[in-house]
Structure 1
Amino acid sequence: MRAEAQAYADKINAALALLRRFIDWDKALRRLDELNARVEDPTLWDKPREAQE
């Protein structure tokens, strides 16, 4: 069972490496941080149009 779990982990790591090659990983993380900060703002839905952007 342990070898099977390791094989899955290896496949996942390979898939992540492939994604990182095609996605600007640092830019995506910055965007995620930006969106998380906006979601934490309690006034987010006070202006629905801006919130949907």
Structure 2
Amino acid sequence: MYPRFVQMLLDDQFPNLPKDPSDELPLEHMDSETLKRLNTYRRVKPEDEPRYR
């Protein structure tokens, strides 16, 4: 139910536990193009966007 929490506990208990690199999920930061696509998907109008980021 809480895999990240359990992984943190295991990392704390067993710091040298071998990990499979293919088992990790790569994360990428969202850039402005991705945010524009999300706004289009949610149908947010440009005039409804906040004035700050």
TM superposition score normalised by structure 1: 0.26
TM superposition score normalised by structure 2: 0.26
Tell me which structure has the larger Cα radius of gyration: 2
Q: Which has the higher helix share?
A: 1
